[in-house]
Amino acid sequence: MTSLAELLDERQHLLDLALRMVGSDTAADHVVQETYRRWYALGEAERAAIATPLDWLARTASGVGLAFLADPTRVPAAPASHTWSVPTTHQAGYGQAMLARHDRVARLFAAACRAGDAEALREVLALDAIAVSDGGGKIRVAERPIHGADAVARFLTALLPGTEAGLRSVNGRAGLVLRRAGRAVAVVSVSVAGAEVTAVWIILNPDKLQRWH
């Protein structure tokens, strides 16, 4: 598994490469989005057969950049981002007691994340917990939900190194904001049932993180 810090470095490398080719931040961003769109257009077996994704992505970005230079009026269209949203406190019908319970569980989850403790994460996750990531086509993230406490715990402990996790209010409930060099790189919310986390919602789309910086 790849950490978020490594994925951010990968995206920055592609942006720098594209910017050197096309000379515009806006065009470079579109080149990178088109590069990731082509990555996700591959089948799972095709992606798994690529030993070094960064090399493949860099070659693809170079090709997209060259196509842009040959026809600068044709900027690749941005892929559609995920449309899921985390339920707000009002939507979930939370009373004060339920909100307090949610926040107690969320704080246990946050402490386990900050410690990078996979066992502690498994203890607070429901057996059938899921994790869903939204990269908006702008960062290479898990394409499908991750299922099961073990898989979610492994995913989170692999994702977190290189970031600072701070407990913050997200949609009126306790959540996490991950920062790197002082900038928000992810916002994490959780859904809770009883004393367990049933779902982890991770926003990684840079466009949706602007207000968190």
What is 89-212's CATH number? 3.10.450.50
Residues of the chain with CATH 3.10.450.50: 89-212
Q: What pLDDT does residue 74 have? A: 57
Token reading at 126? 């429901």
* pTM for this entry: 0.78
Residue appearing with tokens 């209010």: 169
Q: What pLDDT does residue 72 have? A: 65
Q: What pLDDT does residue 173 have? A: 87
State the Cα–Cα distance between residues 95 and 70, nearest whole angstrom: 59
State the Cα–Cα distance between residues 84 and 94, nearest whole angstrom: 20
Q: What pLDDT does residue 96 have? A: 81
Q: What is the block-wise mean pLDDT of the chain (213 residues), using blocks of 10 residues?
A: 90 94 91 93 91 94 91 56 47 67 92 92 95 89 89 93 90 90 92 92 90 84
Q: What pLDDT does residue 95 have? A: 73
Closest to 66 (Cα-Cα) out of 107, 91, 34, 104: 34
Residue appearing with tokens 């941005």: 78
What burial class does residue 54 get, using C-beta atoms within 10 Å of its C-beta: 0-12 exposed, 13-18 middle, 19+ buried? middle
